[in-house]
Amino acid sequence: MAATYEDRFWTSSDGLNLHYRNYPGPEGSTLCPVLCMHGLTRNARDFAGLAEALSATRRVIVTEMRGRGASDYAPDSDTYSPVTYVADVEKLLAEQGITRFVAIGTSMGGLMTMLMAHGAPGRMAAVVMNDIGPVVDAEGLARISGYVGQGRSYPTWVHAARGIAEAHGAAFPDYDIDQWLEMAKRTMVVTQNGRISFDYDMAIAEPFAKPGNAAPANLWLAFEALRDVPMLLVRGGLSDLLSADTVTQMGVRNPAMRTITVPRVGHAPTLDEPEVRAAILDLLDGVG
Q: What is the pLDDT of residues 56-104, one digit of tens each?
A: 999 999 999 999 999 999 999 999 999 999 999 999 999 999 999 999 9
First to last CA, the chain: 29
Per-residue burial over 22-33, b if 16 or more Cβ lie within 10 Å, else e, is bbebeeeeebbb
CB 287 within 8 A of CB 232: no
Helix (H, G, I), strand (E, B) or coil at 257: strand
d(CA 106, CA 30): 26
* pTM, to two decimals: 0.97
How many Cβ atoms sit within 10 Å of the Cβ of residue 64? 25
All domains in the chain, ordered by first residue: 6-148+202-285 (3.40.50.1820)
Length of the chain: 288
Residue 248: Cβ-neighbour burial (10 angstroms; 0-12, 13-18, 19+): exposed
CB 159 within 8 A of CB 190: no
Per residue in 214-238, pLDDT (tens digit) is 778 789 999 999 999 999 999 999 9
